[in-house]
Every structure is written in structure tokens, then in C-alpha cells.
Structure 1
Amino acid sequence: MITIEDLLQTGRSGKKSVADGGGCSSSSCGSSSGPSDLAPEVWEKVKDHPCYSEEAHHYFARMHVAVAPACNIQCNYCNRKYDCANESRPGVVSERLTPEQGARKVLAVAQSVPQLSVLGIAGPGDALYDWRHAKATFELVAESLPDIKLCISTNGLSLPDHVDEIVNMNIDHVTITINMVDPKIGAKIYPWVFFDHKRHTGVAAARLLHERQMLGLEMLTARGVLVKVNSVLIPGINDEHLIEVNKAVKERGAFLHNIMPLISDPAHGTAFGLSGQRGPTGQELKKVQDACEGGAKMMRHCRQCRADAVGLLGEDRGQEFTLDKLPEFLEVDASKRQAYRDEIEIKREAHRNAKAAANTLAQESASAGAVTVAVATKGDGVINQHFGHAKEFQIYQADRDGVRFLGARKVNDNYCMGGVGEDSSLAQIIELLRDVDILLCAKIGDCPKSELKDAGIEPNDDYAYEFIEPSIASLYSTHIVEEAVEA
């Protein structure tokens, strides 16, 4: 077996690596950019933001506070009345908070979660239509926690009216949900929008929304604000059209483009859910994301967070911080967060070196083929989760360009459920991973291992607690050698 030290030695060869600024196929940002590729002031904004940096999402936590319930548009995929503590979906919250309650909750999380780096307001309505509440919350938090980055999500309809305030409040990150640039397609997604004291419907409503979104995007990027564009992929409606959306937002300076799958379940009570509109498969999502490569930079690590999410991406600790559970005494102390950031920087440097070495090894081993790998991980960029406990799998690809992250796929029911429904959940996991060649995890039992092999997926727990990218590069190198021997 090739060890991490072997890979690090490989990475010290004369070939230019990621850390040296030689490109980054494994994605330090939500894009393929890293500290050597971005202007220092931009890297400073994104390096600890788990949504804007793929590297940072392994180490840093975000939280959303649900202080903005009002909305000025209706989306066919949204129903803000629905709530389930186990449901991870935009617009869903357990508590709607006042700005004072929201700020108190942020202080409680900051006291308990040293990984916290970002506060976002993402509804459950629209943060800019409900700007009075959003602004008051930001002002309270910024006064007490100046080290926490401020982030806002919006549908964009009210955005042009608030750009000056956003800039003046040092909100460096804005996310706009843009699902179309053709109003005819937009009319299939939005039944109505409310603007200038009037409800607009049909193509006219979609055209108004589109014009305001494009104007707001241009105004923000002209002022140096980093903009992430979210798009919901709706099969049969905007799947092919999202390539045009990608081109349009790139032209207007968007920093990232995040294409997310439609979440469509009749139980949620959304128009799409009740009408039978399906969401895309993981393979369909990847196809559209791949088709947009070369345009606006792709974000592939989104987890479609609730509007009251707390914790690392892929986990939600929100139920630990409901109002009735907040401590009576709240301490304002940034030293724990700073100590964590100092400590984690050492891990990040080791991880960057390992990724650079992995890319070098993969490139030196390259053939015309590619290997797709699913990874069970709890974070830190390490293979550290039991197969049966995985609630998602991170998908990577190794080929002649190196090792790169493709996205995360959620598991509806993890395999280990106390002996109930395990056959059904394993069948669902196999279908979820049907395009995967290898599965890496910390441990796996004989039964699922056998069934995965029968489905053409090779399970492997030999790399438990190793960095992800070097382990994949090692497997890729072995795979290429085996192909050559067989030939």
C-alpha cells in the first residue's frame, strides 16, 4: 500500500503542485481556485467560508437565523409552512425569531461551536424583502461578534434597492437564487411575484424578476461583493436551460454557480411535489454541472441547508439551540474561535500538501480512463465514517487531470438502522451509487460488502482515517497498473 508519506514525497518532486500555484483540480474554493490563484483580498473573504470554499467546508461551520419570514415571490418548489426536525431543505425552520432572539441564538452558538465562521440569513422568506428584521439582526451580531462573516440569501427581486446598505454593512457574500433567464421558463416556476404594491403573474412576472436579478447581480459585483448564484435543477423545465443561466451570470461577474437538485415530495405540500414533478438523479445533476464547466465556477459541495441550520455542512445541530435550550449566561469571547482557526490551519496545510501530491501521482499514473469514488466521511477531509452510519457520500473522480471533488449525495435512510429496513436502504444506496467504481469507508460489514461487489462497486476500508485525495490517487495508480497487466 502507498502511504501518505509516500505521496507527500511524490508531491515534493520537481513538478509544480497546487500549493505552488500550478492549478487545483481538487478545488480549494467552491471553484478550482486556491490561495495561489486568487487575489489576497478575495482569498481572505472565502478561505473560512464553508459555502464559498470547498476546502473550508471540511473545517468551518455556518449558521442561519430564521428572522425573515415574509416573501415577495411564490416558487412552485417552496412551502415555508412545512417543518420536520430531520428535513434538510431551504425554507424549513422550527422557530421564527425576532432580531433580538436571533442575535441571542448566534451568541449561544458562537460560545459552543468554535468552528463557527459565518452567519447567514436565508429566510424562511426573503431576507431583503424582510430587510428590517435582517438588518437589525446583523447590526446586533456585528457589534458583539465582529469576527463572524455576514452572508445573505435572496431571490433578487428587492436586491437593487439594498445594494448600498449591503456594502456599507460589510456583507461580503450574497447568494441570489436564479433559476432562469428566459421568462417563458420562469413562468413555469413562479406563479406570481409581488412588486411595487402589486401582484404580477405569468411571463410578465418572470420577466420582472429576471430583470431585477440581473441588475442586482451587476450592482453587487461592481461593488466588489462576492456573489454565489443558486439554481434549482427541475427536470423537463430548466435542466438544459441552466447552461444559459450559467453563461449569463458569469458575464455579470458571479463568483460561483451552485446548481442544486429539486427536492420534490408530496408530503412537503409544494406545487411541484403535489403535481408529481420529480427531482433529478445524482447522475442527471452531475451531467448538467459538467456541461457548465468552463462557465461560471461550479460549487459542488452544497447541502441545501434549512433556514435555521447550525454546524458543519452535512450536519445540522439546530435542535441543540432552540430558544428553550439557550444558556442563561452568554459569553462574548472570540479566543476559542481564534484558537481553533490557528490549530486548523496546520491541518489545512497538511491537507493541501496531500492533495497536491495526490494530483501529481494521479497525473503521472494517468491513462485515458477515469475512476469514480464514493467516500464515507464525517469531515476533516479524512475517510473516517463507517459505511452503515453514512447519511451522505462524497463523490470524487480521478483521471489524467488529478483528483477532484464532484459533489455529495444524500442517503434517505442509512444502512445501520437497528436491523429494520436494512435490505431496502442498501438497495437505495446501491442505486444512488450506480455510476461509482470504488467506495471508501472506515469500516464495512461482510453483507453490504458482498452486495456492493455484486453491483459492480468495489468497497474498500483499507484507507481508514487517511486523507481522501491521496487514498484515491493510490487506488487510481493501482487501477491503472492492473489495467496495464490485464491488457
Structure 2
Amino acid sequence: MTDCCKVETEEVQTHQKLNHLLGKHPCFSARAHFKYGRIHLPVSPTCNIQCKFCKRCINKIENRPGVTAKVLTPKEAVKIVAKALELCPEISVVGIAGPGETLATDNALETFEMLGTEYPDLIKCLSTNGLMLDKYSERIINAGIKTVSVTVNAVEPDILQNICTGIFWNGSYLKDYEGAEKLIQEQLKGIEKLSNEGIAVKVNTVLIPDLNYGHMEEIARVVSKAGASIINIIPLIPQHEMKSFRPPDCNELNNAREWAGKYLNVFRHCRQCRADACGIPGKGKELGNLLYDFPMETFSHG
């Protein structure tokens, strides 16, 4: 077999393995969304960027990202997985998506490393804003994480500076254009590095009609070039600094997905889950109340 044919064969085998993997991931596959379960482990308390629409909270009533009943330690999280599998054996994915940024502390990666020993067959999924994605790429790979979701709300600093107030980078706080430019650079570097290692990368984009509606196709084009394989465009939840902004209507959301679909597969079943969600999303089988039976606790998102 020539070297060229060998490379092509390896690429086909990698693609087949990836398709098999994603077929069991309810946040990457429409079919899996109604068949397989996932659990989100809320182990990440702080964040290293400030998005104007983001408000992290501790409560049991709001059904949105950035909300959890409690922030867990990595050891507590592993115990919760054991309990969740008893309640829902259909769980195929263990993900970490907050309530803060997963790579702002070591908690998420420590949890995944522990889960790799305890539950090697579960798909491990990391959600991140992407600022530290390139820096921690080797550790992500070594932890056995096979799917990564990166929130990319713009690929032009002029637009992103109106969505993200600033970022914490190497001990400094970078605001406005400077912060937006650095965030985009690091996101694209991280996406490229991980996709080159065979990790499936999904991009999550918050659709804000007055800011990035006409930018959806360009986001999809750029992240596709970097190596992303799927995009999830989700409507703005007006809150925090954007509480006066309007969410997109159905036509705007459909248009944005159609434009992005020129470059990427589009995931259309996102439930905008809490950071402690558990169950089969497509069946409305949520088990969070059975997992978290402790009282509320004070929470500071740093």
C-alpha cells in the first residue's frame, strides 16, 4: 500500500469512528437527541471573559445555561455520575458546561481525568468559550475528551466587542476591540488544533438580531475552515446587560441556520440546558431534581 493510500484509509477509519461516536451524542446528533442521555457536571465556578448576555446563578428554577443548583467538586461530580447512571442507564455522554468557564480552573479537566478511569466508555464532552483552548489542548486530548463545543459569537472584533465586554488574559484585563481580537485568535487556534487530532468540534453561536444576525454565514465559513464540523445557532435569552435586547424571531433563526448550513451541519434541537442537566433531552426526561436534593448555597462567579 502506498503512503497516499494509507493516509486515505486512516482518514476514512477516523471519519467512521467519529460518526459512530456522534451517533450517541444527543447534543451533536438529531437521532441521538431522542434516544441517548447526557449529564452536565457543574464543577466550573468562575469565568475568564464577560459576555454581556451571561448571568450565572445558583437556583433550581431557571432553565438556561449558566444555572446550577450547586457547584460540585471533581470528587462529588464522579459520585453524581454513578447516581445518574442508576437513574438513567441511557446516559452516553458526560459533559461539563459551566456554570462558569470550564478552562478557567482545573476543575473540569480534573473531573474528566477521574472519569476516564471510572467510566472509560462514556463520551466526554467539554464546552468552553475557547480562550484557553489552545493552551490546554494537549491535556484535553490526554483526558480522552472526544467532543468539544466552543461558543463563537463573532469572528470579527468589531462585532464581538459589542457582545463581550472583556477577557482576562495572562494577568491583564483586555477590553473592547483588543479583548475581542485575542479571544477570536485563541478560539480559532484551539479549534484547529483539536480538530486536527480527531476531536469533533461543534460551534455554539448565540444569535443576537441587532448585532450578529448578518454575520452568521461568515462565522460558519471561518470556523469550518478552522476544522469545526457542526454549528448550533441558539436564540439570545435577554438578560444582564442585554436584558433590553430582543431575541430572534423564527424567521431570523431559520435564516441564520440556512446561511450557516452552506458550510457546516446545523444542529437544530438545542434545549439551552442548565449546567446541571441530566437525562434524555429529546424526551423531556430531566432528572436533576432527583440528583440534587441539597439546599441552596451562596455562589460567587468571580
TM-score by length of structure 2 reads 0.89
Answer yes or no: is the 8 Å Cα contact 1:105–1:323 preserved in 2.
no
Query: What do the CA deviations read for 1:130-160 (whole angstroms, capped 9, x no partner)?
Result: 2x11122112222222221110000000111
| Structure 2: distance between partners of 1:293 and 1:192 | 30
Amino acid at match of 2:110: A
What is the CA-CA distance between 1:86 and the residue it aligns to?
3.6
TM-superposed CA distance for 1:292, in Å, is: 2.1
C-alpha separation in 1, matches of 2:119 and 2:178: 43
Identical aligned residues as a percent: 37
Q: What is residue 151 of structure 1 aligned with on the other side?
A: 125
1:102 maps to amino acid: A
CA-CA distance at 1:206 after TM superposition: 0.3
Partner in structure 2 of residue 126 of structure 1: 101
**Which residue of 277, 284, 295 corresponds with 2:263?**
295
Match of 1:306 among 258, 268, 274: 274
Could you tell me which residue of structure 2 aligns to residue 197 of structure 1? Answer: 171
- Specify every segment of 5 or more residues in structure 1 that has no aligned partner in the other structure, as ranges: 1-35, 326-487
Q: CA deviation at 1:85?
A: 2.6
**AA aligned opposite 2:289:** Q
Corresponding position: 1:80 with 2:56: yes
Q: Which has the higher contact order (CA 8 A, sep 6+)?
A: 2
Aligned twin of 1:223:
197
Partner of 1:160: 134
Counterpart AA for 1:217: I
User: Per-residue deviation at 1:52?
Assistant: 1.3
SS in 1 for 2:67: coil
Q: How much does 1:169 deviate? A: 1.5
Residue aligned with 1:236, SS: helix
Q: 2:299 aligned with 1:318, yes or no?
A: no
Cα distance in 2 for residues equivalent to 1:55 and 1:104: 29
> Distance between the aligned counterparts of 1:305 and 1:122, measured in 2?
9
- The one of 75, 86, 90 aligned to 1:111: 86
In structure 2, what residue type is equivalent to 1:279?
P
1:358 alignment counterpart: none
SS in 1 for 2:194: helix
2:12 is equivalent to residue 44 of structure 1: no
Deviations 1:389-425 (A, max 9, x none): xxxxxxxxxxxxxxxxxxxxxxxxxxxxxxxxxxxxx
Q: CA deviation at 1:196?
A: 0.3
User: How far has the Cα of 1:87 moved from its partner?
Assistant: 2.2
Distance 1:256 1:169 in 2: 22
Q: Which amino acid aligns with 2:148?
A: V
**Corresponding residue to 1:283 among 251, 254, 258:** 251
Residue 272 of structure 1: aligned partner: 242
Superposition CA RMSD, Å: 1.6
CA deviation digits over 1:405-450, x for unaligned, max 9? xxxxxxxxxxxxxxxxxxxxxxxxxxxxxxxxxxxxxxxxxxxxxx
Cα separation, 1, equivalents of 2:15 and 2:149: 21
What whole-Å deviation, never above 9, does each CA across 1:297-356 have from its counterpart, x for those lacking one? 11111111111110111533211101549xxxxxxxxxxxxxxxxxxxxxxxxxxxxxxx
Aligned-partner residue type, residue 168 of structure 1: N
Whether 2:214 is the aligned partner of 1:244: answer no
The whole-number CA distance in structure 1 between the counterparts of 2:98 and 2:188 is 21
Query: Which residue is equivalent to 2:206?
Result: 232
Instruction: Give 2:268's aligned amino acid.
Output: R
Between the aligned partners of 2:287 and 2:250, the Cα distance in structure 1 is 26
Q: Which residue identity is paired with 2:26? A: P
On the 8 A contact 2:127/2:148 being kept in 1, the answer is yes
Deviations 1:455-475 (A, max 9, x none): xxxxxxxxxxxxxxxxxxxxx
CA deviation profile, 1:82-120 (whole Å, cap 9, x unmatched):
x44342211111111111111111110012211100000
Give the distance between the partners of 1:223 and 1:323, measured in 2 at CA: 40
What secondary structure does 1:181 align onto?
A: coil
Could you say if the C-alpha distance between residues 128 and 111 of structure 1 is closer, same or farther in structure 2, counting changes exceeding 3 Å?
A: same
Q: What CA distance in whole angstroms lies between the structure 2 residues aligned with 1:285 and 1:156? A: 24
In the alignment, is the contact (CA less than 8 A) between 1:255 and 1:296 conserved in 2?
Answer: yes
Query: Which amino acid is the alignment partner of residue 77 of structure 1?
Result: F
TM-score of the aligned structures, taking structure 1 as reference length: 0.56
Taking the TM superposition and a 5 Å limit, the aligned residue runs for 1:57-456 are 57-81=33-57, 83-130=58-105, 132-265=106-239, 270-273=240-243, 276-314=244-282, 315=284, 316-322=286-292, 324=294
1:233-277: CA deviation from partner (whole Å, max 9, x where unpaired): 001100111111011011111110111000114xxxx1101xx11
Mapped contact 2:97–2:126 kept (Cα < 8 A):
yes
Check the 8 A contact 2:109/2:140 in 1, yes or no. no
Aligned partner of residue 214 in structure 2, secondary structure: coil
Q: What amino acid does structure 2 have at the position aligned with 1:74?
A: Q
Aligned partner of 1:12 in structure 2 is: none
Checking the alignment, whether the CA contact within 8 Å between 1:62 and 1:116 is kept in structure 2 is yes
Deviation at 1:123, TM superposition (A): 1.0
Q: Deviations over 1:200-219 (max 9, x none)?
A: 10111100101111111111
For 1:311 and 1:153, locate their aligned partners in 2 and report how far apart those are by CA, in whole Å.
18
Mark the runs of 5 or more structure 2 residues left unpaired by the alignment: 1-11, 296-302
SS in 1 for 2:209: coil
Q: Is the 8 A contact 2:112 2:145 kept in 1?
A: no
Q: AA paired with 1:153? A: S
- Number of positions where the alignment pairs a residue of Structure 1 with one of Structure 2: 281
Query: Distance between the aligned counterparts of 1:61 and 1:241, measured in 2?
Result: 33
